[in-house]
Chain A
């Protein structure tokens, strides 16, 4: 067994050039082959790539798809984000547990199947959903989960669970997924028709500075949510000192409730890859990395094929379109870490490290991937670039508003009759969005995912644009039957789980926020708790090191502002100064058992 392991690890490392930068690929391959990266495997990997074992171990321990203890041959990851729960994920979970005879986090006695939770896997529009190894199963029911478990125990082949394919390229022979695009409102920019070479060939006929100027003229801003002007980012990167430069496409779409990049990568991969190539040309890079979240591994063979075809057609590789420009793209798979959507954490991950965010400055534009000046752009941003090159920056800027040009893809989920992906003009009011998606009775809308803001009916006339309701695309709709404080609790659970733990405000602050929210939900809250939540939330927001902690308190802060009544309803009123959470009878229970008498104080 251990000889097998040795040979296999050597082979895997060699396939990655014994390069420690490729650590993610190495440990993912070992995990896939052996169901874990055990201590022995870590030693072997460390030896092969000339790293310390702890470097391997720190990567394995960081990502949720990796483990040092054996998991089953098949791992079922049941999505438990708030939207999936609203659609009955709890009942599905119970059915899985009963049928498999295990609890979440456990492996069947025969070592074949493991059941786990996963935060949002990007399928909120077809929830509840789960990953069975790399295979996505959607719209699960309790009965469906039972049947699925029984089948799986018999054939142990996840792909066989897929009986009908989804629409569009989901039925492509290299994807074969039951995922649906739910592309409800394709718009003019991202989902318009595409000529694979047009944008690139136009770009290569211009000088890099002219390309950057075109992007600047279009006023394109980053679509990941932060909204940094793309042209400016490219200019900084081009101007930064460094021999080699790099373009990274951030396809680590981890914000719960976001799934637009999944649809882009399924239906318009050429646009994304052309956008990366154009960015590479503009900044003078020779290497591009598409960082694909582990949950979307089912798209990888398809994307590799698209890359290969682009190479064959002279759109990628050496001497692109005969213009003497060399640029190639590799796909870097993630392994289940939300934080890797943060650009500096994403760069760490591409470098074969834990997905820890880095200190800024230096910014990635100055020193990014392997200390090279690096541009990190969202999938949607790069798509928009191709459109700007095709039809000119002026035509692009005609869409949207002056501060937010173009269109925005929204991933809509929750209590609405038409969940899915919508391409809307910037400047559309939230009210119009809700009408479009069939959510006329929405009581609350979380715009921008858990790190965004919870908006109430009084603010439905606010607009989707950078200067008002900025969003990476996630729109979660909550009907009047939902308790927003429970939603906040779920969001905090997510952040507590996903915090990398590096800085105290985020690691500890989110736990304390969640603890207090739990007290309130249990009817043990007090009026002063709201003040406490406000103060602590602001501390977490201002003192955290990266974007995760700087936004994780947003659900608390925006609901305190917009849904204060929901909290006040749950709070019984001023107390006598005793902490309602301290239960003397429970606290003396152990001693009563040991000593053998009842406490007079506790039971008075």
Chain B
């Protein structure tokens, strides 16, 4: 794809529900303005799987629950000038982190052996090398790599994402009115 000198934007969903990505898409037709400002690089939005070069901004949804999340997050850190934790799971682990007080062994057992809807007569916990190993707990992104900005919300409203991106790309202070950062 041609670069046209535009800065690149990468996004990913780690241990998230894709809700934050839905919220990105929720900027509606402003996405046309967005692609005038930036070019999407590695992202589920355009389905580019690997970085094509250095990006200006990386948007991170979800925290890290397994080793693959860590690898991707570190790749983002290497390839992006600015990383933004987008939404509560990236910022503090969120719903997935509810397992953090339960020993990992019990989590595996509940999921694959003892859960009420589990049918697993062989009593095996899946062990394909393709399946990433879980971490002992779910980590917020900033505990794994350095994060430059945090946009809270579950998900952050589309307007919040839009305002933050535009401010960042036009090198102006972000102006987030109260309605965009209140959550009750």
Contact = CB atoms under 8 A, between A and B. Distances in A.
Interface of A: 528, 575-579, 581-582, 584, 586-592, 594-597, 599-602
B146 interface: yes
Nearest to A586: B136
B125 interface: yes
A594 B144 contact: no
A591 B127 CA distance: 11
B100 to A, nearest CB: 12
B135 A596 contact: no
Classify the interface of chain A: helix, strand, loop or mixed: loop
Interface in B84-120: 103-105, 108
A588 B108 contact: no
A577 B146 contact: yes
B145 A579 contact: yes
Given A591-B136, A594-B108, A599-B133, A579 B146 contact: yes
Interface of B: 67-68, 70-71, 74, 77-78, 103-105, 108, 125, 127, 129, 132-137, 139, 142-146
30 contacts: A577-B78, A577-B146, A578-B74, A578-B145, A579-B143, A579-B144, A579-B145, A579-B146, A581-B143, A582-B144, A586-B136, A587-B70, A588-B133, A588-B134, A588-B135, A588-B136, A589-B136, A590-B104, A590-B105, A591-B133, A591-B134, A591-B136, A594-B105, A595-B133, A596-B127, A597-B127, A599-B67, A599-B133, A601-B71, A602-B67
A82 B145 CA distance: 34
A590 B139 contact: no
A601 B71 CA distance: 8
Closest 3 CB pairs of A and B: A591-B133, A590-B104, A587-B135
Given A577-B78, A597-B127, A597-B129, A582 B104 contact: no
Contact of A590 (B70, B71, B136, B143): B136
A550 B132 CA distance: 46
A582 B139 contact: yes
A601 B135 CA distance: 12
Contact of A601 (B70, B103, B144, B146): B70
A108 B92 CA distance: 42
A561 B104 CA distance: 44
Contacts of A600: 129
Nearest to A588: B133
A158 B58 CA distance: 65
A528 B148 CA distance: 12
A570 to B, nearest CB: 19
Given A576-B77, A591-B136, 4 more contacts: A579-B143, A579-B145, A587-B137, A587-B139
A599 B103 CA distance: 19
Nearest to A528: B146
Nearest to B133: A591
B155 to A, nearest CB: 25
A261 B74 CA distance: 56
A352 B103 CA distance: 42
Q: Give the interface centre of A589, A594, A597 by most chain B CB atoms within 10 Å.
A: A594
Nearest to B104: A590
Contacts of B142: 579
A589 B133 CA distance: 9
B145 A588 contact: no
Given A577-B78, A584-B70, A599-B133, A591 B143 contact: no
A303 B89 CA distance: 59
Contacts of A581: 143
Contacts of B143: 579, 581-582
Contacts of A582: 70, 139, 143-145
B71 to A, nearest CB: 5
B136 A587 contact: yes
Contacts of A592: 133
Contacts of A577: 77-78, 145-146
Nearest to A581: B143
B129 A594 contact: no
Given A592-B133, A595-B133, A578 B105 contact: no
A587 B68 CA distance: 12
